[in-house]
Structure 1
């Protein structure tokens, strides 16, 4: 993915004057030049080539699209034809001269002639020669693409052009051909070689009516440019603007088009070769990692590099914040009221409600199945509820309020009320069975419960003797007697004027409970000035790469349950950002799309199982709902398969983010859409203020690419399980319970759970990689794998698969062979069983104990 070119913010006229852009021609002039003409364009799958093809086809020319990528060419052809243009696909790899010869024969046979050749294909390699001692193939590849292929193509098409006495050849070169090719030696030498060849050919063929133009392109913002921080600030062009220069060369047919400074550079360099050589040597001394840099010079160079990188990130972060619309003028009294509210409640959920009311009182805060609450209404009802709970139940500091609600306003009102009183909050899993619920209530010492009516029988089945308040009644407000949230809000009680809590209460979030009764993980996040300062550099880096940019105030649809860490954190983060929270009590894939359209949702929070159901909707169903307002789709709480990530982005665009964390350590990392495209399966880079270390069994850090145990350090670490015990610690870092690795770009990957590793015949197998591979089979919708005891191997791997609707079972042997073709032999499951559905938690985690129980029952394969 190309980087943004901040220098392109300059007006085009200024960039032309600076020699950073070129003149275009009118649509009328281009139409007169190419209408009815056959124009062959190499490198047409992307960048300048694709942009040129669109321009020429719009002007009435017939474009022949040449590149290696058949899919990209077909997509461009369809786009041009849908717009009323004429385009034909001719895939060919210019490195293969036999393919070039076949291309020439095919084009002449099908189209009879070529009137204009636009040579856009190119291979750009930027590398110091000290990094190239064993990379002679870079020179071979560069010459094959930049010299031999286009030369062979022109030689094949020239005879017919000369016979007709007309034709034009456009050579898209680089301004670098006029400059010393430091770091670009393979690229510049090959481009210069073709330029010189065409310069020698040009006079001869002009005598027969065939003309040539060479365009010495300046900086063009395409994927071919690669990554460089400094280039972001140099004035340059978009691919469309570069295509305008190509259009000019077709219309005006000048011998050369280029920047004024490029034409004057060559003579100047020839006159001062020693000065130029010494200047570039000084640059290489500083910039080339292989050159010796020690002492004060090395220290200064390193500091300058880090400072420049941070400054670049700071600019990117500022642009991100500006793009969110978060910086807006406010009445002076509102920030003051918000600061006073934050001072009163501290690091507590109560702060988000109070600050939101102070800053955005009249804005929608909650949109649920009952309607809409503004920030003022949410804060007022939460305060009234807090007063009534304090008055009726004595809820306050040191006491605990449990919440067992689906996603609706009652959960938020109760959570804000409890937080205002300084009580500890205990969100309860709505999937609990009676025994689990009773055990958690007793262990956590819950005093008051706010729950939906549907969960009443569950509480009746426990020994809970505290007070209960109904948050949602399926039969309406008068269906049952007893205390209700609405009734307590209407009671008219009032809190004492002085704040009750001396310290904010804690939030006790529960673990997933996939291996037993969920554990309580209390935390009370409180950051000091030093910790906040330490987070600034990482925060700046994260903001700088955050694309696409969410917009402050965009409605946020939270599909994961609010009791889960993901849903809980998303809700209060949304309130803190001034966004309306869109909540639905039940998840339905099509209803989510309908809600996005109706509420103009900008951010959709989901877990992978929800994402899968959305992706699996028929195309006709998805087309019924306008999801164009959607800017960001954060996914988390369970592993996101590479296949699902790619499929979602292919259908909905580059909007998907993959978040990673746990109840015990909080948020750990975030993968952007660019990360997921570049490295499918990644969980991204560590979040601001988070340290991730990957170690072996002895506690030593492992090299890049090697799998090890993951340890995390941050201010979000929990205080230890409420029932006793904690996670393993290593040098102040906490075990997250996963094993994973990092790539050279610093992106993290999860390879499995350390307690799920299967040792079969002495070899280590992590179920996740087998599951992802099985799920990639065209007949498989879902997959899971577990280890079971085996007398011969210690453990054996058993896989469970769910078929896609309407798919025939591929058979156990075929699925085993599918795994064997991609993974080591010892990772092939010994058994593969087809099931109707995999047991999962409400956030999508596999319940492996239930799968092992299925094996004990010996179900039919």
Structure 2
């Protein structure tokens, strides 16, 4: 299929090419021409095309696109009245709900700079990031007020506010009550979103993301993950992370009804799928794991047959989790492999995951992926090297001026992997996670995928430690299932039976929980010093 045929196919499925009354199509086209691709055009165009359709269902209830667009315009006026100018930075610390999307879109309409903060940030991290990035205003949920006691009250505004909210702090809902709701003028500069990296090994870095300049990135994304127009889309993944954000921003162009919950619950998610006939579920692998282990009675009693797409990203899809999920629910997993800096690299569909569990998938439209050695030379098919990529969502660099490494115009992902004979990519692990044990290259993921399949293991992460005989060896931090009596010796023997000798752990340390961030990545800097147990 040529580029034109590809574009028409995807645009029809997205509902961009769809018969509607002329005045609605003209109104939507004007919004797209005015704003260009991005949140402001997505919301405003949807409000012109489907004003009475429910835009968001969340813990506050339902809101139509018509009223949603009005509230966004009202909040844009509030920000302007506060003196915010194009280019000013606004920090946002929120869980998933309508007020977060209102804040994001309003700041973009002003041409501002959004700092999307992680809800698991510490007080010290928040203070450092806000000062480092020059935030003029901090919009946050009421629950996070204890973390910002040192910030002047005049620089705070509440997003999600409870009935016991402080009287001296305005909320988005209260501040917008009497504001005009008309269309907003185009700002002098485009808005910008700063997404902070996971910070699994240190302080999070701010990664610059501008709004797309055309529809090519949207077409590449939806060419591989087949959203349909006017679907019900439940986003469980945090919106402050690039995975949740891309599904919000790109998803808005399909005029969906979004379902948000402030806290993820596998049982609530299953009930939402049944009640609202959810067709698309956006999650991170940790959420898939929790859904597989959900209350068996709830799983039995809920009908999830409407689920056509379970879009997963944010961390590695461990072991046979994809198969476990699809066997329990629907054959719907689309695994998105990428990062904040790279955007997408490959995407695996349900057929790929059935045929080759663990694959990261195939290369999408207008994307180039090559496996290079450390000298920048492409390696033969099947050989492991460093994954490099280029696509239509270029990285804007870090806010401290640094950038990623490039070879021949391709970005170094920092991951090691290889392509199989079918063109499917497999990720071996992080380049800096690989260890050399007894002269062999060893990757933690092989042992992690093995141990997580043990019937008495609930969670596991593997790291490299020094070894006097082998140079380096793998070590496993393990969370046992409730009531389990499995020992370190048991797990080492299990590894000996299932992985290469070089991947057998030197020791096993048992923990109550692993320190994970909201996307499921283990915060390795928070792991205790390893103590050899075997």
Shorter-chain-normalised TM-score: which range?
over 0.9
SS of 1:738's equivalent? Answer: strand
| Alignment equivalent of 2:96, drawn from 390, 407, 413 | 407
**Aligned partners of 1:316, 1:470: CA distance in 2, in Å?**
44
Residue 315 and residue 820 in structure 1: after superposition, are their counterparts in 2 closer, same or farther (change >3 A)?
A: farther
Q: Give 4+ residue runs of structure 1 displaced > 4 Å after superposition.
A: 313-327, 463-466, 858-861
Residue number in structure 2 paired with 1:421: 110
**Aligned partners of 2:440, 2:284: CA distance in 1, in Å?**
32
**Aligned partners of 2:37, 2:129: CA distance in 1, in Å?**
25
**Aligned positions of 1:35-50 closer than 5 A:** none
**Aligned partners of 2:123, 2:139: CA distance in 1, in Å?**
16
Matched, 1:822 2:498: yes
**Aligned positions of 1:566-605 closer than 5 A:** 566-605=243-282
Residue number in structure 1 paired with 2:18: 328
Matched, 1:482 2:158: no
**Aligned partners of 1:428, 1:786: CA distance in 2, in Å?**
28
Shift of 1:734: 1.0
Report if the CA contact (8 A) 1:790-1:796 is conserved.
yes
Shift of 1:465: 8.0
Residue number in structure 1 paired with 2:312: 635
Report if the CA contact (8 A) 1:608-1:638 is conserved.
yes
Residues 487-545 of structure 1 deviation map (CA, whole Å, 9 limit, x = unaligned): 221132578x872512311111110010111100012244469xx4xx89x959x84x7
Residue number in structure 2 paired with 1:454: 143
Matched, 1:397 2:397: no
Report if the CA contact (8 A) 1:693-1:710 is conserved.
yes
Residue 703 and residue 618 in structure 1: after superposition, are their counterparts in 2 closer, same or farther (change >3 A)?
A: same
**Aligned positions of 1:194-593 closer than 5 A:** 310=1, 327-392=17-82, 394-461=83-150, 467-475=155-163, 479-493=166-180, 499-527=185-213, 532=216, 539=220, 543=223, 550-593=227-270
Report if the CA contact (8 A) 1:344-1:499 is conserved.
no
**Aligned partners of 2:436, 2:152: CA distance in 1, in Å?**
43
SS of 1:682's equivalent? Answer: coil
Report if the CA contact (8 A) 1:574-1:580 is conserved.
no
**Aligned partners of 1:396, 1:335: CA distance in 2, in Å?**
32
Structure 2 unmatched runs, 5+:
none
Residue 473 and residue 808 in structure 1: after superposition, are their counterparts in 2 closer, same or farther (change >3 A)?
A: same
Residue 475 and residue 666 in structure 1: after superposition, are their counterparts in 2 closer, same or farther (change >3 A)?
A: same
Matched, 1:845 2:533: no
| Alignment equivalent of 1:690, drawn from 350, 363, 367 | 367
Residue number in structure 2 paired with 1:836: 512
| Alignment equivalent of 1:778, drawn from 449, 455, 458 | 455
Residues 691-749 of structure 1 deviation map (CA, whole Å, 9 limit, x = unaligned): 11111111111111111111111231221110121111111111111111111111111
Report if the CA contact (8 A) 1:682-1:747 is conserved.
yes
**Aligned partners of 1:523, 1:551: CA distance in 2, in Å?**
25
**Aligned partners of 1:835, 1:619: CA distance in 2, in Å?**
26
**Aligned partners of 2:204, 2:51: CA distance in 1, in Å?**
38
**Aligned partners of 2:440, 2:139: CA distance in 1, in Å?**
49
TM-score (norm 2): 0.94
**Aligned partners of 1:610, 1:701: CA distance in 2, in Å?**
36
**Aligned partners of 1:315, 1:498: CA distance in 2, in Å?**
36
Matched, 1:787 2:464: yes
Normalized per residue, the structure richer in helix is: 1
Residue number in structure 2 paired with 1:739: 416
TM-score (norm 1): 0.59
Report if the CA contact (8 A) 1:527-1:715 is conserved.
no
Report if the CA contact (8 A) 1:509-1:520 is conserved.
yes
**Aligned positions of 1:26-175 closer than 5 A:** none
Residue 651 and residue 324 in structure 1: after superposition, are their counterparts in 2 closer, same or farther (change >3 A)?
A: farther
**Aligned partners of 1:713, 1:324: CA distance in 2, in Å?**
24
**Aligned partners of 2:238, 2:380: CA distance in 1, in Å?**
38
**Aligned partners of 1:768, 1:826: CA distance in 2, in Å?**
13
Residue 314 and residue 626 in structure 1: after superposition, are their counterparts in 2 closer, same or farther (change >3 A)?
A: farther
**Aligned partners of 2:395, 2:477: CA distance in 1, in Å?**
34
**Aligned partners of 2:78, 2:427: CA distance in 1, in Å?**
46
Shift of 1:314: 8.1
SS of 2:320's equivalent? Answer: helix
Shift of 1:601: 1.0
Residues 578-608 of structure 1 deviation map (CA, whole Å, 9 limit, x = unaligned): 1111000011111111111122211111111
**Aligned partners of 1:758, 1:403: CA distance in 2, in Å?**
38
Normalized per residue, the structure richer in strand is: 2
SS of 1:622's equivalent? Answer: helix
Residue 465 and residue 472 in structure 1: after superposition, are their counterparts in 2 closer, same or farther (change >3 A)?
A: closer
**Aligned positions of 1:803-822 closer than 5 A:** 803-809=480-486, 811-822=487-498
- Comparing 373-382 with 708-717, which one deviates more in the overlay? 708-717
Report if the CA contact (8 A) 2:507-2:533 is conserved.
no
**Aligned partners of 1:352, 1:402: CA distance in 2, in Å?**
22
Residue 723 and residue 626 in structure 1: after superposition, are their counterparts in 2 closer, same or farther (change >3 A)?
A: same
Residue 716 and residue 677 in structure 1: after superposition, are their counterparts in 2 closer, same or farther (change >3 A)?
A: same
Shift of 1:618: 4.1
Report if the CA contact (8 A) 1:410-1:472 is conserved.
yes
**Aligned partners of 1:359, 1:318: CA distance in 2, in Å?**
20
Shift of 1:321: 6.5
**Aligned partners of 1:550, 1:675: CA distance in 2, in Å?**
18
> Which one has more relative contact order, counting CA pairs under 8 Å at least 6 apart?
2
**Aligned partners of 2:40, 2:514: CA distance in 1, in Å?**
38
Shift of 1:317: 8.1
Matched, 1:666 2:358: no
**Aligned partners of 2:184, 2:492: CA distance in 1, in Å?**
68
- Comparing 485-494 with 696-705, which one deviates more in the overlay? 485-494
Residue 845 and residue 539 in structure 1: after superposition, are their counterparts in 2 closer, same or farther (change >3 A)?
A: closer
Shift of 1:468: 1.3
Shift of 1:833: 2.0
Residue 849 and residue 553 in structure 1: after superposition, are their counterparts in 2 closer, same or farther (change >3 A)?
A: same
Residue 859 and residue 792 in structure 1: after superposition, are their counterparts in 2 closer, same or farther (change >3 A)?
A: closer
SS of 1:685's equivalent? Answer: coil
Higher radius of gyration, 1 or 2: 1
